Amino acid sequence: MNLIIDVGNTYTKIGVFEASKIIYKNTIKQHDFSQIIQKIKEKYPLITDTIVSSVSCIAEEDMTFVKKISNTIVLDHLVEMPFKNLYKTPTTLGIDRLALVAAAVDQFPNKDTLIIDAGTCITYDFKNKKEEYLGGAIGPGMRLRYESLHNFTAKLPLLEIAAPKNHIGTSTKEAIHSGVVFGIIHEINSIIEEYCNIYPDLTVILTGGDAHFLSKRLKNGIFATSNFLLEGLNHILAFNNNK
């Protein structure tokens, strides 16, 4: 069994895999880390291997604890990937994006694939049929856009995410919702269209915290999945263990 740990900016996502099947998933706050990992190990004593991906800082004592209970890979740019990385500055590439591409290689082999991760940022990552990662784009996510409108203006309120009823906002709140939500929807649809003009058989994956909210409002033909990053990390772990 594999233990998959993805340490984000606010929360940590944890998964337990039996081969390629996820059998446990949880999202926790950072201060609960060691206690919950201990409980998971007690519940799944057959866990032998772990991979840790961290876009934020993980406490040294937490990392030491993980290494004590299993063979552990800490994902960085030196870990071998199941694809060829053609990014010009690989050391600046977010390791979460590497995991997403690994999942695409595993689940959509030999297909031109665009992975859209809608979280704090919206990232676009592309791998081609030859399993080469070419790069992509990074933009502000939905929550970041709401916060920016509030923080960098004098009077605009900070709103919770909500679906606008139509494009014409008849109040300031409605106008903000329209600008943020429809702006992102049109952005994503337009980028997909641009990729499809070059790669007609494009496969599109939508994942991340806002994927469920956005998937209902985007054009059809998109695979929406909530476990894609964990699945990618599991594939990287299996790839390195089977070399």
* Residue numbers annotated as active site: 96
CA-nearest of 9, 6, 5, 237 to 121 is 9
Q: Is the dihedral of CA 123, 108, 241, 81 positive or negative?
A: negative
Question: Could you tell me if 83 and 107 are in contact, meaning their C-beta atoms sit under 8 angstroms apart?
Answer: no
Alpha helix ranges (H) inside the chain: 33-43, 60-69, 95-107, 142-151, 172-177, 183-198, 211-215, 228-241
How far apart, in whole angstroms, are the C-alpha atoms of residue 114 and residue 241? 27
How far apart, in whole angstroms, are the C-alpha atoms of residue 152 and residue 219? 32
